[in-house]
């Protein structure tokens, strides 16, 4: 493991090792999630933006960006996980076979009535809670959402407006807020729908992560027959990154992509865990401050930690300035490339990529050349419109 420090970010490099079980996040799991999502009235494939001018300037084969800003009208990818997981939980509760059911099954009067008495509870930095609130409304259920200290009011309100949840800002950091949500669920007999796993709480988050795979399957189908040589994935607890990484490593076994896991330096729990080198996931404690609200999480998700640890080639811990550069560059692209509205947690991988592309030494470190096919996911749009305007202007 080699650690290198640059002006605005640090990088850990390693050779991936084979080993972790990737079967839970296979093409089959992705196909099942996609089939469910396609049955939702609000479903539409999100665009895969090809940055052709940038690719030509940077002398790489392609740079693709999966733009999740319009997913279900929620401005972020997270509704994919909340809705699929809620579907699986409700199927289990109501004795429905998920393979024979989809959203339309839940329009039946008897099933709708049964759903009316069910309350879900979760903790969130914002986007997951919005997805849960929206999904609860689709299924006719209720939801309670808890948010960490420092959350901006606009994000709390967006959760209530997205669906049928009541949302509340607590006095604690993200990890402590998750514990609070778990104990409220237990006390009230409500269902905890959390987008991270720990020992003994794995089935629900595994369904959430499988829900995220819809975006990976869509992206693969939109890449004109290419497969990524490089994947840059941002991580909070790492559920999204680990699931998408497992999907692509599984799918491209002959030539697995080089995966970079990208985090805010203040809350770089995956980076810190990899650096510790003992194979275990380690939390980052305290009250980390970063504008990347969706990535401000202190403990890696236990189910995907082995995937992140063993399959990734690079771990990157970035200053906020990296994502600010990414947000501005997405908004003012090269030549005729389309603009992408990308928020604080969406753009960090792009800011990092642009720094890498502008330096021969970094290109060589990340093994980027004329054959490189680079895939990024802009995981959110302007979920905090004031914050977005402050960075991008206009």
For tokens 């076994």, the residue is 253
The reply to whether 236 sits near ligand PLP by the rule CB under 6 A is yes
The reply to whether 140 sits near ligand PLP by the rule CB under 6 A is no
> How many CB atoms are closer than 10 A to CB 222?
16
CB of 349 to ligand PLP, least distance (A): 10
Retrieve residue 19's tokens: 């080993």
The reply to whether 127 sits near ligand PLP by the rule CB under 6 A is yes
The reply to whether 128 sits near ligand PLP by the rule CB under 6 A is yes
Give the C-alpha separation, 118 to 187, whole Å.
14
For tokens 């299924």, the residue is 139
Quick one: 235 or 274, whose CB is closer to ligand PLP?
A: 235
Quick one: 101 or 196, whose CB is closer to ligand PLP?
A: 196
Residues in the chain: 394
Between 59 and 98, how does the x/- string for binding to ligand PLP read (CB under 6 A)? -----------------x-x--------------------
Between 352 and 381, how does the x/- string for binding to ligand PLP read (CB under 6 A)? ---------------------------xx-
The reply to whether 155 sits near ligand PLP by the rule CB under 6 A is no
Binding piece for ligand PLP, criterion CB under 6 A, among 7-15, 44-52, 291-299, 311-319: 291-299
Quick one: 228 or 264, whose CB is closer to ligand PLP?
A: 264
The residues carrying an active-site annotation are: 78, 125
Quick one: 60 or 74, whose CB is closer to ligand PLP?
A: 74
The full DSSP string for 258-294 is: EEEEEEEGGG-HHHHHHHH-SSS-----S----S-GG
Give the C-alpha separation, 285 to 297, whole Å.
9
The full DSSP string for 203-250 is: HHHHHHHHHHHHHHHHHHHTSTT---SEEEEE-SSSHHHHHHHHHHHH
Contact 376, 71 (CB under 8 A): no
Enumerate binding residues for ligand PLP (CB under 6 A). 76, 78, 125, 127-128, 195, 234-241, 294-295, 297, 345-346, 379-380
């Amino acid at each position: 493991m080699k650690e290198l420090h640059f002006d605005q970010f640090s990088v850990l490099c390693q050779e991936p090792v084979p080993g972790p079980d990737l079967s839970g996040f296979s093409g089959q799991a992705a196909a099942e999630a996609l089939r469910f999502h396609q049955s939702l009235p609000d479903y539409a494939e999100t665009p895969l933006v090809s940055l052709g001018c940038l690719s030509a300037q940077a002398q790489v084969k392609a740079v693709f960006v999966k733009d999740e800003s319009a997913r279900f009208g929620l401005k972020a990818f997270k509704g994919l996980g909340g809705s699929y997981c809620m579907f699986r939980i409700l199927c289990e509760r109501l004795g429905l076979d998920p393979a024979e059911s989809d959203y339309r099954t839940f329009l039946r009067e008897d099933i709708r009535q049964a759903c009316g008495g069910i309350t879900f509870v979760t903790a969130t930095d914002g986007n997951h809670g919005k997805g849960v609130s929206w999904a609860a409304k689709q299924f006719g259920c209720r939801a309670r959402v808890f948010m960490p200290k420092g959350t901006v009011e606009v994000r709390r309100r967006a959760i209530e407006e997205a669906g049928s949840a009541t949302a509340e800002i607590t006095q604690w950091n993200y990890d402590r807020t998750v514990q609070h949500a778990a104990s409220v669920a237990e006390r009230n007999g409500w269902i905890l729908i959390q987008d991270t796993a720990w020992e003994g709480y794995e089935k629900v988050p595994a369904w959430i992560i499988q829900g995220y795979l819809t975006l990976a399957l869509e992206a693969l189908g939109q890449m004109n027959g290419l497969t990524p040589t490089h994947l840059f994935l941002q991580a909070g607890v790492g559920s999204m990154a680990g699931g998408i990484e497992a999907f692509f490593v599984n799918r491209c076994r002959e030539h697995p992509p080089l995966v970079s896991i990208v985090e805010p330096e203040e809350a770089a729990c995956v980076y810190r865990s990899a650096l510790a080198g003992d194979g275990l996931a380690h939390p980052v404690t305290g009250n980390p401050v970063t504008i990347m609200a969706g990535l401000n999480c202190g403990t890696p998700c236990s189910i995907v930690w082995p995937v992140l640890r063993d399959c990734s080639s690079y771990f990157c811990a970035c200053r906020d300035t990296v994502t600010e550069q990414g947000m501005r560059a997405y908004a003012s692209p090269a030549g005729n490339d389309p603009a992408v509205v990308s928020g604080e947690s969406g753009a960090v991988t792009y800011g990092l990529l642009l720094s890498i592309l502008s330096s021969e030494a970094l290109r060589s470190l990340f093994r980027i050349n004329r054959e490189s096919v680079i895939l990024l996911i802009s995981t959110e749009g302007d979920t905090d419109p004031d914050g977005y305007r402050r960075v991008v202007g206009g």
